[in-house]
A and B are shown apart, each in its own frame.
Chain A
Amino acid sequence: MIEKKICMLGAFAVGKTSLVRRFVTSCFSEQYQTTIGVTVDKKSLTVDGTDLTLVVWDLYGEDEFQKLRRSYLRGSAGYLLVLDGLRRATLDIALRIQESVTDELGPIPFVALVNKHDRRAEWELTDHDLAELAQRGWPVLMSSAKTGQGVEDAFTTLSRALTQAPQPSSRADHPDGA
């Protein structure tokens, strides 16, 4: 069984924890509950005939109170970069995070996931914004943790990219560096 660490990244309140909960337990709560630090979940799935266990690191959202701790990224094979369609500011944060991760881990697979698609009519993000992301070469998907729309697809798409991507250079699993 292949086990892959992936991170949920993005601004606060974009729905990272809700997406994980929908993916792992098929549940959803309207109540916003902020994440402090990290919560790790696992889910096994089969992608194109390959059995895979995703170790999902649900990191706190970035804002002025919590900045991304780069050590959490260590060993990540890929990540879901979550945006809130209702808040255009989450696009800027996503752009910044993507640069940080690339600096830290190199060009690992990721999927930009624009969440809250159930309120599409209210989005601040425009088709033009999405087109610009696509022009950057980002794989962009829509999702709604509330309805479940696009959630499975997002994780599957990332997983497929993980299984097809070259294996990252092996990292020492020994804290003393031995």
Chain B
Amino acid sequence: MAPNSHPSVPDTFYRALLARFLIAVLEHVGETRVRLIGEPPPWLLRLYPEAEHQADFSIDTRTPVLHNFLHDAAAAWDAQNNPIARSGFWTDHTMFDEPRHFDALAFREGDQRLLLVQHHTETYDQQAALLQEARERALRQHEQNRGHQRTHQVLTTKLADSERSRDDLAAILQQLGLATLLIDGNGHVRFLSDSAVRLLEVPPSSASRDMHWETLLPSSKPDRLALQTLLRQPVSPRERARCHIETPTGRRLWLEIELHDDPRDSRHRIAFLHDMTDVYHLRRLLELKAHFHDLIGKSRGMTQVYEQIHDLARVDSTVLIEGETGTGKELVARALHQASARRTGPFIAANCAGLTDSLLGSQLFGHKKGAFTGAIDDQPGLFEAAQNGVLFLDEIGDIPHPVQTHLLRVLQEKEVTRLGETKPRKINVRVVTATHHNLSQDVAKGVFRADLLYRIRVARLQLPPLRERKEDIPLLVTSFLTEGRASMGKTIHRASPAAMAAFMDYHWPGNVRELKSTIECAMIHCKGDTLDVSDLPSEIHQTNPVPPAGPTLPTDERSRFVFALGQARGNRTKAARLLGMSRATFYRRLTELDLPPS
């Protein structure tokens, strides 16, 4: 052997190699018959046991795949280019049902038509493991994709449902016209209904933005703090917060905010905004009416009265209200009652004029059954009726002397004894009195007890006559027109400039009461929507009872009566009207003032 040539391979080497790789070499000898070259490997004997004793045997359907491959092998053996045909893997079961994996090669070597059949173990397992892993991965990927698709489908459906529900609810909300906000846990407004946008006058550029509720509802600090507290707490249904805001255009709104928990998220709040502005204004008017009634006015005189009422409401002393008839003395007393701590107690008003001493005494202090003729039952007096409240005694200057004495004792002792009884009863009553008399003069004349005057005049409140606060006349006219519209059902909204001028020119001896009755009378005659001068009573626009020099009407009552009679040229009905009182009262006062009836 030459030093550089390859060494020859001994046959034993090939035999060992074939045995190592579990290869059987078969030579095709015709049809399906083959001849085994070399020793038969044990695996072949399990498939074809006859190969142990005979070199030639037939490939049959015991190995159907190999049998089928003989067709492909034949094509390879017969081909000119001497190709190699491969069977691919197949699995056969031995007679003991053991799976065995094989593949086969067919080719021609010289004149020999060879068939190499290899029994695979590790090679097959390795390929199978690789393929298994790849396919399992593909299956897992597919499952994941399916999962994603299912999730996507579920979410898409839910989103569509959610959007539909949202649109439906939004449509219902818009249809209902509810001003609604949805406020999240950070205070940002997540939803704003069209009605809310209109109510709050939110600019279109801001409506879609994530605004904070404090920006949307610019309220006072107390309102804001109250809302903050409510928003932090779980709210019970229908609980409402009040809030006063000013819109971007300067409109002032009084809102009641109804808060609800969002059932979907406990951090969210649903707020319904109720516009209570009109209600607020009406309520305010009602409150004003209840507190001050006809005390309408912004003049300095009335402002001072308001301040005095405010101051006197804080104390519990007796008050004497002085002023001409028709200036609203009882209304001041009512205002005092409403503004004071006794507002929850009763307000009892009594007119002391024109009553006999026994009747007035019985009325004020009460009586026992049988105390006098006609006393058929025990009767508590007004003092008892006003327990814990206010007793308003109008025309205090007219009470008879015996009643003055009794009244003085009641005020001093704070106890009242019914007529016919001996045992006094404790009372807790604030006494407010009023008079148009000059009580100091009455004391000087001896018709009024000085000690009683000092007792009732602990505090004094002087009401200005209307002629001294004419700047309040337009306000009063507007107010009385409003009242008249409500009571008469007429649509009279204003007074003409001429009528207003007449009002301003007139000196109003009967004060506000006279103005009110004048307007009521004029509204009866008025046919249009504007009160004209022709609708006014003749004395208002035809005669000017006020001396041209201005408010020179005497402040002394006697002089005013004389003046009124003079203006009315002795006509007592006209004079009574000029003074804003009834003819009966006028006559009574004439007698009391010791004036001749004609």
Task: Please determine whether chains A and B interact with each other in the same assembly.
Answer: yes
Residue numbers of A with Cβ under 8 A of B are 5, 12-13, 32-34, 36-40, 55, 57, 61, 63, 65-66, 69, 71-72, 74-75, 86-87, 89, 122, 124, 172-178
**Which listed residue (B71, B91, B99, B135) contacts A63, Cβ 8 A?**
B135
Interface contact B132-A33, CB-CB below 8 Å = yes
When C-beta atoms are compared, the residue in chain B nearest to A122 turns out to be B146
B163 interface hit (Cβ, 8 Å): no
When C-beta atoms are compared, the residue in chain A nearest to B73 turns out to be A175
In the complex, what residues of B have CB within 8 A of residue A36's CB?
89, 101, 124, 127-128, 131
B88 interface hit (Cβ, 8 Å): yes
Interface contact A37-B68, CB-CB below 8 Å = no
B142 interface hit (Cβ, 8 Å): yes
When C-beta atoms are compared, the residue in chain A nearest to B70 turns out to be A175
**Which listed residue (B28, B68, B127, B139) contacts A71, Cβ 8 A?**
B68
Q: Identify which of A13, A39, A87, A175 gathers the most chain B CB atoms within 10 Å of its CB.
A: A175
Interface contact A124-B70, CB-CB below 8 Å = no
Name 23 A/B residue pairs within 8 A (Cβ), A-sorted: A12-B138, A13-B139, A32-B132, A32-B135, A36-B127, A37-B91, A37-B103, A40-B64, A40-B90, A40-B91, A61-B135, A63-B135, A71-B69, A72-B88, A87-B142, A172-B71, A174-B74, A175-B73, A175-B74, A176-B28, A176-B31, A176-B74, A176-B77
Interface contact A175-B134, CB-CB below 8 Å = no
A173 to B134 Cα, complex, angstroms: 38
**Which listed residue (A57, A65, A86, A177) contacts B131, Cβ 8 A?**
A65
Number of interface residues of B (CB under 8 A): 36
When C-beta atoms are compared, the residue in chain B nearest to A40 turns out to be B64
B379 CB, nearest partner CB in chain A, Å: 92
B207 interface hit (Cβ, 8 Å): no
The 6 A-B pairs of least Cβ separation, nearest first, read A37-B89, A175-B70, A175-B74, A39-B91, A38-B90, A34-B132
A57 CB, nearest partner CB in chain B, Å: 8
Interface contact B65-A175, CB-CB below 8 Å = no
Residue numbers of B with Cβ under 8 A of A are 28, 30-32, 61, 64-65, 68-74, 77-78, 88-92, 99, 101, 103, 124, 127-128, 131-132, 134-136, 138-139, 142, 146
A12 to B136 Cα, complex, angstroms: 10
A83 to B78 Cα, complex, angstroms: 39
Q: Identify which of B91, B92, B124 gathers the most chain A CB atoms within 10 Å of its CB.
A: B91
A36 to B88 Cα, complex, angstroms: 9
Given A40-B65, A176-B30, CB of A124 within 8 Å of CB of B73: no
In the complex, what residues of B have CB within 8 A of residue A34's CB?
128, 131-132, 135
A176 CB, nearest partner CB in chain B, Å: 5
When C-beta atoms are compared, the residue in chain A nearest to B85 turns out to be A71
A32 to B136 Cα, complex, angstroms: 8
B121 CB, nearest partner CB in chain A, Å: 13
A55 to B60 Cα, complex, angstroms: 14
In the complex, what residues of B have CB within 8 A of residue A61's CB?
135
Interface contact B74-A177, CB-CB below 8 Å = yes
A4 CB, nearest partner CB in chain B, Å: 12
In the complex, what residues of B have CB within 8 A of residue A124's CB?
146
B105 CB, nearest partner CB in chain A, Å: 14
Given A65-B134, A178-B31, CB of A55 within 8 Å of CB of B64: yes
In the complex, what residues of A have CB within 8 A of residue B146's CB?
86, 122, 124
**Which listed residue (B61, B71, B135) contacts A12, Cβ 8 A?**
B135
A94 CB, nearest partner CB in chain B, Å: 16
Interface contact B136-A175, CB-CB below 8 Å = no
Interface contact B91-A38, CB-CB below 8 Å = yes
In the complex, what residues of B have CB within 8 A of residue A40's CB?
64-65, 90-92
Given A38-B88, A174-B32, A176-B30, CB of A74 within 8 Å of CB of B134: no
